[in-house]
Structure 1
Amino acid sequence: MNTSPYVTRLVARAPLRTVRVADLAQVYAHPRKEVRELERRGVLHRLAYGVYCAVPPEADPSTWRPSIEAATAAVATVHFGDRVPVLIGLSAARVHRALPRAIGAGYVAAPAFRRPTRLLDRDAEIRYSQRDVAALDAVLVTTDLGQALVTTTEQTVLDLARSDPRGADLDAQEAISTLWPQCDTAVLAEIAGRQRMRATFERVAAGR
């Protein structure tokens, strides 16, 4: 029986159209071999070891790849669940169009520790930060693989400022400067108070 159409639909319906090879064991006796064949045919695209996403029907599979932010959200989602991981830091800044330059890492908050994941379709990696994801101020956005959570502009500014207290990271400082006019200071203060970042808020506000 040709199971390819079924698997294609399965992947297309998965969160962020991404699955692990292990998830296909219910369909294939030898899922890794079959998945490689689907990749060769341009149906699937390999993001990381054992993790594949669906190639859009209109795309050229020989050149297409998702944005690093979409890939980060997708890989984190297959490990932690749909709408659990949250894009943070510079990844969130890029989603909010506050950092036009490409970066070599994806940043995501997750509820448990995980070592960095090397992406296999580019020279980049996913870096996880163990956080109380439910406590983060986040919104749902549409990426080129589907919907994912990303920190709001206010949460992103506070996170970037806390991670770069001396202002030495040029990317972080550029993103903060771009995002600051879009932020609601009352929301910033509320998040800072709730997440024990009052000193961070006062420092970044004093510099504006």
Structure 2
Amino acid sequence: MKGHVTIPTALAKRANKVVRPRDAADVYAHPRSEFERLLEQAVLRRISTGYYALAPMERLGDPRWRPDLAAAALGIAQADYGRDAVALMSVTAARRHGALPRAIGTAVVAVPKQRPQLHTDLGEIVFVKRDVGRLDLERVETELTTGWMTTPEQTALDIAARPRLGGIEEADAGPILRALARRIDWAVTEELAREQHRPGALARVRKEAAGA
């Protein structure tokens, strides 16, 4: 039988439930060894080297709990760059918007710096260098954190511009764009395309919408 699990209030109340050992330096004198203990108690789950997810209160102590890949991607990006400098985008945002019916093993997140892909035990995380302040965003709530993701309009332009980003095939982009086209405000999409100098992407979205 497991002992009683206790979580410091400072960790339990974190807005972002993805934590790094250094985030707990003001909570524990030796955070790495304490994290190992919390792993054994299934309070934390290791996502990747240096990144851990705090289990929801109702799943504390349950070793079967696995966080959602998109939630983990957003949480990791926020841990490293701050909430307002990152956003879920491309196919990951498309899935949140209901335009991609099947889950894929890759999450795409916009971040302020160039960064290699990260392998996790949940899937791959692709980081794309973007100035999030120039993107059209909306709020997104995940099981690990609340933050930002691209709007349907921004997502459509992003996928049209880079259809293979996130590991999908070129042929898969068409159905996603057609699904997004049913939700977008065309005036907003046209304005974004002008501001971001993406006439080709707009043309691709229009073409797919016409074939819907």
Q: State the 4+ residue runs in structure 1 displaced beyond 6 angstroms.
A: none
Is 1:184 matched up with 2:157? no
Q: Indicate the percent of aligned positions where both proteins have the same amino acid.
A: 36
Q: CA deviation at 1:149?
A: 0.5
2:57 is paired with a residue whose SS is coil
* Correspondence for 1:89: 90
State the partner residue of 1:18: 18
Secondary structure, aligned partner of 1:15: coil
Q: Which residue of 1 aligns with 2:46?
A: 46
Q: Which runs of 5+ in 1 are unaligned?
A: none
Quote the offset at 1:33 in angstroms: 1.4
Uncovered stretches (5+) of structure 2, i.e. residues with no partner = 1-5
State the TM-score, normalizing by the size of structure 1.
0.89
Q: 1:121-158 CA deviation, whole Å, 9 max, x = no partner?
A: x3x11110001110000101111223121000000000
Aligned-pair CA distance for 1:26: 2.7
Question: What secondary structure is seen at the aligned counterpart in 2 of 1:29?
Answer: coil
Amino acid at match of 1:26: D
Change in CA separation of 1:186 and 1:116 when aligned onto 2, cut-off 3 Å: same
Counterpart-to-counterpart distance in 2, 1:168 and 1:118: 20
State the partner residue of 1:32. Answer: 32
Say if 2:110 is the partner of 1:105. Answer: no
Matched residue, 1:5: 7
* Offset from partner CA, 1:88-114 (integer Å, 9 cap, x none): 111101111211211111100111111
Alignment-mate amino acid for residue 63 of structure 1: R
How many residues align? The count is 201
SS of alignment partner, residue 26 of structure 2: coil
Contact 1:161 1:176 in 2 (8 A): yes
Q: How has the CA–CA distance of structure 1 residues 58 and 81 changed in structure 2, closer, same or farther, with 3 Å as cutoff?
A: same
**CA shift digits 1:41-95 (9 cap, x unpaired):** 1211222211112111212622111211111101111111123211011110111
Which deviates further from its counterpart, 144-153 or 185-194?
A: 144-153
Amino acid paired to 2:140: V
> TM-score, normalising length from structure 2?
0.87
